[in-house]
């Protein structure tokens, strides 16, 4: 597939309507814009699908965290919910320790300046 502008440029340069590769006189000159639009639409739909799936899973886990764990009957789902709860707890702990480290660093710089 060639660009339509490239084919037109080649035809005007050669002054003949031949295929640029095989030099055959009869060939179909088609643009590729239609396929590009299809591929772009496919990519947009794929990105939307992944984002919607991520948001749905996130909302579901946040909803499951508010429910008591004994109400979950599936073992796999219970493990996933507990793993998510563990992730949230470790994330909170990590953020708290980072804040403490920053506070200690600012305190130490103030002490050194005095």
Residues 70-108 pLDDT 10s:
777 788 888 888 888 899 999 999 999 999 999 999 999
Domain assignments of the chain as residue spans, ordered by start: 1-31, 32-113
DSSP letters for 7-57: HHHHHHHHTS---TTT--S------SHHHHHHHHHHHHHHHHHHHHHHHHH
The string of pLDDT tens digits covering residues 9-56 is 767 777 677 676 666 777 666 666 777 888 999 999 999 999 999 999
User: How far, in whole angstroms, is CA 96 from its chain's centroid?
Assistant: 29
Q: What is the pLDDT of residue 104?
A: 93
Name the helix (H) or strand (E) containing 22.
none
């Amino acid at each position: 597939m060639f660009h339509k502008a490239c084919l037109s440029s080649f035809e005007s340069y050669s002054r003949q309507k031949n295929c640029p590769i095989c030099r055959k006189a009869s060939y179909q000159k088609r643009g590729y814009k239609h396929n590009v639009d299809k591929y772009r639409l496919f990519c947009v739909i794929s990105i939307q699908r992944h984002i919607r799936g991520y948001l749905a899973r996130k909302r579901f886990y946040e909803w499951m965290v508010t429910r008591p764990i004994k109400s979950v009957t599936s073992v796999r789902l219970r493990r996933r919910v507990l793993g998510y709860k563990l992730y949230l707890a470790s994330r909170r702990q990590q953020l708290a320790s980072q804040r403490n480290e920053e506070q200690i660093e600012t305190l130490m710089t103030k002490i050194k300046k005095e």
